[in-house]
Chain A
Amino acid sequence: MKLYSAGDKSKAICETCQDMVETTFLYRDVPFDDGTGKVKDILASVCDRCGEVVAIPAQSLPAIRRAREKVEVSLEAQVPASDIEILDAAATRISERASVRHRKFLLAFYVRKMARDPQGAERIKQLFLEAKAAKPKAKVKVPRKRLSFKVSHDFEEEFAAFAKISGLKKTQVLRGVVREIRSDLVAPEYPASLPQLRELVATMES
Chain B
Amino acid sequence: MTKKVGFKEAKRRAIEALRNKTYQIEERQEIETKNLLYGNTVSEEDVIEIIIKCRGQDHEMQPHHMVKTVDVHILRKDGWYIKFYFLDPETFFLSVHR
Contacts and interface: CB of A to CB of B under 8 A. Distances in A.
Interface of A: 1-2, 10-13, 15-16, 18-20, 30-34, 36, 39, 44-45, 52-59, 61, 64-65, 68-69, 112, 152-155, 157-158
B70 A154 contact: no
Given A2-B20, A58-B23, A32 B87 contact: no
Interface of B: 20-33, 37-41, 64, 66-67, 70, 87, 90, 92
A31 B39 CA distance: 14
Contacts of A20: 67, 70, 87
A39 B22 CA distance: 21
Contact of B67 (A13, A52, A54, A154): A13
B64 A65 contact: no
Contacts of A57: 23-24
Contact of B33 (A13, A18, A33, A52): A33
Contacts of B40: 65, 68-69, 152, 154-155
A59 B33 CA distance: 17
B36 to A, nearest CB: 9
22 contacts: A2-B20, A11-B87, A11-B90, A13-B70, A19-B67, A20-B87, A30-B27, A30-B29, A33-B33, A36-B33, A39-B31, A52-B29, A53-B29, A54-B27, A56-B25, A56-B27, A57-B23, A61-B25, A64-B31, A68-B40, A154-B39, A158-B41
